[in-house]
Structure 1
Amino acid sequence: MKPTPPKNALKFLRWFCREEYLEEIEGDLVELYEDDYKKSPTRANWKFARNVIKFFRPVFIRSLKKSYHSNHQAIFRHNFLLTYRTFRRYKTSFLVNLIGLSTGMACTLFIYLWVNDELNVDKFYQKDRQLFQVMEHHERSYGIWTSPTTSGLIATTLASEMPEVVYAAATGGPAENISLSAGENYIRANGHYVGKDFFNVFSYHFIHGDKSRMLLDKNAIVISEALAVKLFNTTENLLGQVIEFEREKQFFISGIYKTLPSNASDRFDFALSYELYEEMYPSVLKWGNTGNRVYLILKAGTNTEEFNRKIADYVKVKTNNRITFRKPFIKRYSEKYLYGKYKDGVQAGGRIEYVRLFSIIAIFILVIACINFMNLSTAKASRRIKEVGIKKAVGAGRKSLVFQYLNESLAMAFLSLILAITLVFLLLPQFNEITGKHLLLNFDYSLVVSLLGITLITGLISGSYPALYLSGFKPAPTLKGKINNTIGGLWVREGLVIFQFAISVILILSVLVIYKQIEFIQTKNLGFNRDNIISFKREGKLLESTSLETFLSEVRRQPGVISASSIRHNLAGHTWGVGGFNWEGRDPEDQTEFEVIAVNYDMIETLGIEMLSGRGFAREFGDDWKNLIFNEAAIDLMGLKDPVGKSVDWGFDDRKIIGVAKNFHFESLHENIKPVVIALWQGRTDRLMVRIKAGRELETVKDLQEFYQAFNPGFSFDYKFLDQDYQVQYVAEQRIATLSRYFAGLAILISCLGLSGLTIFDTQRRIKEIGIRKILGLSTFGIVRHLSGDFTKMVLIAIVIALPLSYFVASNWLESFAYRIDLKWWFFAGAGSFALLIAWFTTGIHTVKVARANPAQCLKHE
């Protein structure tokens, strides 16, 4: 017990302060307070003590600190020793907890790094909160479609007419897979055509060059630091140096900017003048063109909702009511990455859904690991009851016991943190390869605080219930080796196991559904045959129409080539939409846009697109450029019956419908099939596609490469298989599927570790019971079934709870696909059966070993 302070002032003072200091001034202080003492001894005593303590405050504080540190160091050493001995004594539970907690914390740390990177995409720009992108809602007959592109004219008009706009810049292109050369160096790069205020909108850091005069000259080019090193092996003294563009044009370097960080959603290697783009494509100067992206810097404090109301009819006004179905609006640039999905004109999620999903998974995995610690700690309570009883008998309070057990859980959490950080260091390169990111484990302030926070929360959560449970034992029963196993305590432990396996079942089903949806995507009939087709860019000599036809004719003669043609579309996303169609019976208010696919002869046959009626383009009909082919969706929208042979008006020209193609997917399966018009327009095609015989891919590609380089010297034969372009649309889903498999597997592993530890303790606790049952004739199988019965019940309850939740999670994820699998009953039965088999296997390993033990040895067990 702590000594009580004396009431006398001098004794009180000595009780706090060192005596050698008081001896020098004690007499003087007594004389000072003598008068006060005569009036009121009590008040004088305390006044004297208060003032002397104030005077001796430094001595007082040092004395307290010394006493505090010495006492707490002793307490810390004592608890550290107890923790160390406990870990040594219960090696099995220590290893199970260490592996489980460290694995859970490593998963959490991986997810934290991924989520943190996702949340910070595009947020490094200086004026992030003022940076917006102009987008458009397109009102169509099948719903509202939201486009990230708009008319380039909006940039200049908004900057001059709207006082809220500080800077505005349009971008054209992009210029993809462009061949650039400088001296002997030749590479492929991607770029943009950007407006003059682009670098005022986006805060690029320039190593060389004057940002205000970067692209005033149409022959200027701005390059990234990385591109400069690739082309010139340096970034110094490059201003004015010439870069050859597509072996035809030459541009001089006017600036070099620092390469954007890895969490930039739009990274490009070079930039050219937007004015040059307008010269190349005069159609961008029309309000009907929607192929550009426009970015704004608004004044600080601008009300975005009010600004959106101001520009909602902007296109309508500028076109004198000719274009009324386009509604421009602005979206904060750094939000479009996470919130880029729209449904009927309303923001409906995006990648933020995956961020939330994996954040929840991280929490669940960590909770599962904490549950292991709780369950194992309470399960081994029978082996620590005498320790608790002795401590309570000699005067230990419940608070001190709670502190000790929390100290053990925190020590386990910090040990797990060290092991988790080691695992992350070792596996981070593989994790980056899976996620396609460049994550680094930099111990900055936010990461350190997050790690410490996670560790403390993990230690407190995992140790709270065991600490309260163990410290609540009564001294007398515990010294006799008796535990009051209340129904409530049993329910808590069983409830935690049920929770673990319910989460595991949900993850198992989620992985199965994601796998089946990805399989469905990869095997679905798209309405065309994407197998064994290679595509490559039309450039150099192939830009000439006569050379293109000569090249295609020669390619068709190559061994192993089935067919070849050219197209302006990679059939893996939206290209550009056009309106201006008139047909018989058209509603005058209908301003539906059609997706345009420009093709050459033989393209429909090369892709294997089936015709519902009519014919494809053929050379024997010399004027086929005046004819059009529509898909089924377009004909249904137009409401035409027997459309072949009917005329439509497109841009004041009469065109005839010569065929109707069956619907085919030219966008991802997230989108419904939209109306398409296919036009014979060789001059607008920019890609060549060649179908190759199956089994001869390597030889044919090699022959094509040799022929291409001979026919089109100076350009490399850079090709892709068409199914590669198709798979790019589902990169996010494929990465999510891979990550889900790993995290679900680890969650199941952690759950099994906990179940394994509980099985070990349960079988050890019931070892004498097992011996008696064996003597009475129960078979090994009967003992295994008896011991596994309780765990089987818990897992079955977990399955019953998890299946409805699994259905909700899976159906919610599948809603993002316009074309998706059906949730079959066997998905749920399989997930539940798999979880049950895992539980049986985990418990069976230990129960079979105990069931086969010698009964005599079982009865001798202490």
Structure 2
Amino acid sequence: MTPPRLADRLLNWFVAPHLREEVLGDLHERYTLRVQQWGAAKARRRYWREVLAYMRPSNIKRHPSDYSNPANTDMLRNYLKIAFRNLVKNKVYSFINIFGLATGMAVAMLIGLWIYDELAYNKSFQNYGQIARVMQHLTYNGQIGTQSNLPYPMGDVLRTTYNGDFKRVVMASNTDSHLLTVGDEKFNKIGNFMEPEAPELLSLQMLKGTRAGLTEPGSILLSESVAQAYFGDDDPVGKLMKIDNKLDVKVTGVYEDFPRNSEFRDVSFIAPWKLYLSNEKWVTGMADAWGWNAWYTYVQLADHADIDKISAKIKDVKLTRVSKDDAHYKPVVFLEPMHNWHLYSEFKNGVRSGGLIEYVWLFGTIGLFVLLLACINFMNLSTARSEKRAKEVGIRKAVGSVRSQLVSQFFSESLLVVAFAFVLALVLVKLILPSFNGVADKKLVILWSMPWFWLLGIGFSLLTGLIAGSYPAFYLSSFQPVKVLKGTFKMGRLAAIPRRVLVVVQFTVSVTLIIGTIIVFRQIQFAKNRPVGYNRNGLIMIQTTNGEIHSHFDAVRNDLKNSGDVEEVAESGSPVTDIWSTNGNIDWKGKDPSLAADFPNTGISYEYGKTVGWQFTQGRDFSREFTADSSSFVINEAAVKFMGLKNPVGEIIKWGGHPLKVIGVIKNMIVDSPYQPVRPSLFHLSGSSNFVIIKLNPVKSTSEALVKIETVFKKYNPAAPFDYKFVDDEYAKKFGDEERIGKLATFFAVLAIFISCLGLFGLASFMAEQRTKEIGVRKVLGASVLNLWGLLSKDFVMLVVIGFSVATPIAYYALSDWLQRYSYRTEISWWIFAASGLGALLITLLTVSFQSIKAALMNPVKSLRSE
């Protein structure tokens, strides 16, 4: 019976070589006797105990030739001590290594937290894997569009006809702003009307009351923040409130605010669906209106249900119930699982085309590359300074160290640097996170209490240390001691090639990020400079939550205009910067009978065109002098083109069978995405409104004008708070995602360049130090400072040029693909690449020049006195 092999291997690792044979011989002899006396099992246990006793630091016997054993506690302490002395001795290089690695790790942490937040979107819901949103594909205007708005009867049909496939079916209104009133406290809060099972579907975390709070028609559930705003520390359950100054409700529960990374993060209250129906009388008339898409339907699948099979089962649920005219839209109903809502939300012509997942991959890749740049700095500086450590390696090998022990020594130095960098990275992330959250529109925090965060962070640091220290460890340990100690060791011409390749990689990444950042901002600016078709300056919108302002509109308009601070006032059914309503069943002369049309159709008052500054190309605006204008359309250029109208003014367009005459054509107004073509749009006079649009007098003070406007609104609707929005600000929000991406890309590009420049500074400093005597000789022979600066800088310039040459095709291909997602997009001009390359070159010269000029100005007497 042989002793345990694993125990012998551990012993070989810990016991000095000159003692191993003696120790193993004694152990094996005792083991053989014990097997005969006690049996194999007990003998093996005792053998393991004796082996472990030998592995204690106090029992390990050492030999001078074994001083670099990495498992030896004293030697580990010796390694760390040597590593720390090297760091202190070479302060500049230590700073570059530690700060560069810390910056790279901080970027990786920030991106990691951002990606974690994105991937965790909506996962706070207990039923996350079973929740889906019912959506539909519709074919109109020659293309397939995808939308989540559905007809009112959809919920009942799914609940009754397909009840075996769903646990819950919940109908919901649009998430919108409503006036909540408690005594004198009045605020506009964003909320929703939902069916009673919504709290269970969304797994509300109830702080007070129960999830059954929506069963009563006159009830309301408040978020924690809203309850605190209205009631402070008092218990709100049972208290009375008003919604929009007309619906009396009682608080039946308070739920924890939805997380910020949630689809429902803006929902601050939920009211019963029945209350919505009782208030909006017109909705009850839509019980069989399958062609009217205005509501949302959420479902929770039955246990073990297959979402694809259910989607296939319900795909024609609307097609078989719509009228013949609406059947032209070819509706296809399907289920969109919750895990796709955020990251895979985009559809193009009825096919999923991606979404924010593209940015997750993009920033994940950037994070890895920025960390790689930091590791490259460490590798380059370590290998560049290898000659200074060549004698150390030679002596270590001469006294018995083997290559594996030297590798362990250099890895320990690398890991020490990484340990310092990791701690500094945590400090940097803590300092940067507030600003990063502001740019990224997040509320990220360092997950201090999460064990996996530390496990991942430490594991990540170890991996970084191993990657960063791998090249120098194996390279330095390969030196031959005979040549080193004889003084005949020379670094070959090929030794610098790996460093040059790594510098090229650094600048390839940096230049690519520079080009990408310029293109992103150029695309944003290109869309911002696009003609919007109206005048946004001094234009404000006020949403009306009840009919008080509308019923007194003429008086409101007169008071505002008489104040002198307002040029014009109008009403609208939709905001100036968005589409709230579209209509089909549109017919015109020459229309293809098989074409299903769907146009944005906005109801407005007479003064709307003057207020927003319509730009007419043909015809005229609505006028109170023409009573027939109540049966007329003003259309945009996109509608004229789509309908193929040669002489549009005077043409008749039928809407639901009713003829309306075109009286004017306006330039295209951008009310939807500024990156997409303007949709064919119609405008008609309407007897209802949701918004008041006000054009301020440009020669008057805006702040004073707002005070007067508020006074007028309080006069006619004292119960409602004065809540306004500037059209300019709302339009700017359309660029929010792209601007955030651009700012984040700029942030990471700057850090990438900074890390690359740190490495260049270190290499330039080392090269200047290495060539001190050469520079002295050249100065004695008459070389000027400019000649020496060019000599020391030309190698780096060449590397940057190569990096730029590699980066250009990569950036062009990637950015051309990114721009394809926008119909209205900028061009990739040659000057962008030239400017990026020139910028990288200038940054390189500035970084290198400090050390080059410093070396060139050195007194040659000092550098040559040892010769």
Q: What is the TM-score with the length of structure 2 in the denominator?
A: 0.92
Instruction: Give the structure 1 partner of residue 617 of structure 2.
Output: 612
Partner of 1:499: 505
Quick one: structure 1 residues 55 and 732, their matched pair in 2 at CA, closer, same or farther if it must change by over 3 Å?
closer
| Aligned equivalent of 2:49 | 59
Preserved CA contact (<8 Å) 2:179 2:243: yes
Q: Is the 8 A contact 1:175 1:191 kept in 2?
A: yes
**Shift in Å, 1:536:** 1.1
Give the Å deviation of 1:244: 1.8
Corresponding residue for 1:164? Answer: 165
Structure 2 residue aligned with 1:478: 484
Residue in structure 1 matched with residue 3 of structure 2 by the alignment: none
Q: Write the letter of the residue equivalent to 1:640.
A: L
Distance in 1 of aligned mates of 2:308 and 2:24: 73
Establish whether residue 306 from structure 1 lines up as the match of residue 303 from structure 2.
no
- Report the equivalent of 1:180: 180
Give per-residue Cα distances to partners, 1:97-137, cap 9 Å, x unaligned. Answer: 01101111111111111111111111111111111111122
CA distance in 1 between counterparts of 2:656 and 2:737 reads 39
Q: Is the 8 A contact 1:278 1:284 kept in 2?
A: no
1:56 Cα shift? 2.0
> Which residues in structure 2 correspond to 1:235-274 (within 5 Å)?
236=235, 238-267=236-265, 268-274=267-273
Residues of 2 paired with 1:61 and 1:122: CA distance? 54
Whether the aligned pair in 2 keeps the contact of 1:556 and 1:563 (CA below 8 Å) is yes
Partner of 1:622: 627
Aligned with residue 339 of structure 2, among 334, 338, 342: 334
Q: CA, structure 1 residues 552+407, in 2 after alignment: closer, same or farther (shift >3 Å)?
A: same
Secondary structure of the corresponding residue to residue 326 of structure 2: coil
Superposition deviation, residue 756 in structure 1: 0.3
Residue 4 of structure 1 deviates from its aligned partner by: 4.9
Contact 2:406–2:477 (8 Å) recurs in 1: yes
* Match among 689, 695, 701 for residue 684 of structure 1: 689
Whether 1:710 and 2:726 are equivalent positions in the alignment is: no
> Which of 761, 773, 777 is equivalent to 2:778?
773
Q: Secondary structure at the match of 1:683?
A: coil
Distance of 1:340 and 1:656 partners within structure 2: 39
Q: 1:844 to 1:157 in 2, by over 3 A?
A: same
Distance 1:75 1:696 in 2: 77
Question: What's the CA shift for 1:684?
Answer: 3.3
**Shift, 1:245, TM fit:** 2.0
Kept after mapping to 1: 8 A contact 2:142/2:595: no
Structure 2 partner of 1:583: 588
Q: Which residue of 2 aligns with 1:40?
A: none
Task: Quote the offset at 1:302 in angstroms.
Answer: 2.5
Moved more, 516-525 or 585-594: 516-525
Deviation at 1:374, TM superposition (A): 0.2
Percent identity (aligned)? 30
Aligned pair in 2 of structure 1 residues 782, 205: CA closer, same or farther (>3 Å)?
same
Distance 1:319 1:729 in 2: 34
| Pairs within 5 Å for 1:152-551 | 152-162=152-162, 163-176=164-177, 178-212=178-212, 214-234=213-233, 236=235, 238-267=236-265, 268-279=267-278, 280=280, 281-282=282-283, 284-285=286-287, 286-319=289-322, 321-324=324-327, 325=329, 326-443=331-448, 444-540=450-546, 542-545=548-551, 547-551=552-556
Q: Distance in 1 between matches of 2:223 and 2:718?
A: 27
- Encode CA deviations 1:368-402: one digit per residue, 9 max, x unaligned: 00000000000101111100111111111110111
| Deviation by residue 1:715-773 (Cα, 9 ceiling, x = unmatched) | 22221110111112222222222222221111101100000000000111111111111
Cα contact 2:800–2:841 (8 A) shared by 1: yes
8 Å CA contact retained: 1:533, 1:692 = no
**Alignment gaps of 5+ in structure 2:** 1-16, 61-70
- Give the drift of 1:481: 4.0
Q: CA RMSD of the aligned region, Å?
A: 2.3
Q: Quick one: structure 1 residues 577 and 51, their matched pair in 2 at CA, closer, same or farther if it must change by over 3 Å? A: closer
Q: Distance in 1 between matches of 2:45 and 2:374?
A: 54
What is the CA-CA distance between 1:8 and the residue it aligns to?
A: 11
Task: Give the 3 Å change call, closer, same or farther, for CA 185–52 of structure 1 in structure 2.
Answer: closer
**8 Å Cα contact 2:106-2:428 kept in structure 1:** yes
Q: Quote the Cα distance in structure 2 between the aligned partners of 1:509 and 1:601.
A: 48
- The answer as to whether partners of 2:545 and 2:690 remain within 8 angstroms in 1 is no
1:735-754 to 2 correspondence within 5 Å?
735-754=740-759
**Inter-CA distance 216–468: structure 2 relative to 1 (3 Å threshold):** same
Residue of structure 2 in register with 1:121 after alignment: 121
1:804 to 763, 784, 809: 809
SS at match of 1:729: helix
Q: Which amino acid aligns with 2:815?
A: A
TM superposition shift of 1:311? 2.2
Give me the whole-angstrom Cα distance separating, in 2, the residues matched to 1:7 and 1:91: 45
The CA deviation at 1:145 is 1.7
Alignment pair present for 1:788 and 2:793: yes
- CA deviation map 1:152-210 (0-9, x unaligned): 3222211211221221112113331x221212322221111112222232111122333
Equivalent residue number for residue 137 of structure 1: 137
Equivalent AA in structure 2 for residue 779 of structure 1: S
**SS in structure 2 of the partner of residue 240 of structure 1:** coil
397-406 vs 702-711, greater mean Cα deviation: 702-711
Cα gap change, 1:9/1:842 in structure 2, threshold over 3 Å: closer, same or farther?
closer
Alpha-carbon shift at residue 12 of structure 1 (Å): 3.0
Deviation, structure 1 residue 275:
2.7
Sort the Cα spacing of 1:93 and 1:715 in 2 relative to 1 into closer, same or farther, 3 A: same
Partner of 1:316, secondary structure, is: coil
Residues 541 and 691 of structure 2 are in contact (CA less than 8 Å); yes or no, is this contact kept in structure 1?
Answer: no
Q: Assess if the C-alpha contact under 8 Å between 1:670 and 1:816 holds in 2.
A: no
Q: What SS is found at the alignment partner of 1:104?
A: helix
TM-fit CA distance, 1:437: 1.4
Matches within 5 A, 1:74-89: 74-89=74-89
Unaligned runs of 5+ in 1: 18-25, 34-47
Q: Tell me how many residue pairs correspond in the alignment.
A: 832
2:220 maps to amino acid: I
Aligned to 1:21: none
Q: Cα gap change, 1:344/1:541 in structure 2, threshold over 3 Å: closer, same or farther?
A: closer
Distance 2:490 2:150 in 1: 73
Secondary structure of 2:174's counterpart equals strand
State the shift of 1:256 in Å.
Answer: 1.7
> What residue identity is the alignment partner of 1:289?
W
Residue aligned with 2:508, SS: helix
Q: Secondary structure at the match of 1:348?
A: strand
Q: 1:552 & 1:642 partners in 2: Cα distance?
A: 35
Aligned partners of 2:542 and 2:689: how far apart in 1?
15
- Note closer, same or farther for the CA distance 1:427–1:819 as it changes in structure 2 (3 Å cut): same
Secondary structure (helix, strand or coil) at the match of 1:128 reads coil
CA contact (8 A) 1:172 1:293 kept: yes
TM-score scaled by length of structure 1? 0.92
Counterpart position of 2:5: none
Residue 80 of structure 1: how far off its partner (Å): 1.0
Please give the alpha-carbon distance, in whole angstroms, between the structure 2 residues aligned to 1:831 and 1:685.
49
Change (3 A) 1:640 1:861: farther
SS at match of 1:682: coil
- Give, as a single letter, the amino acid of the residue that structure 1 aligns with 2:502: L
Is the aligned partner of 1:12 residue 2:35?
A: no
Alignment match, 1:104: 104
Q: 1:488 to 1:277 in 2, by over 3 A?
A: farther
Pick closer, same or farther for the CA change 1:174–1:782 going to 2, 3 Å: same
Distance apart, 1:438 and its partner CA: 1.2
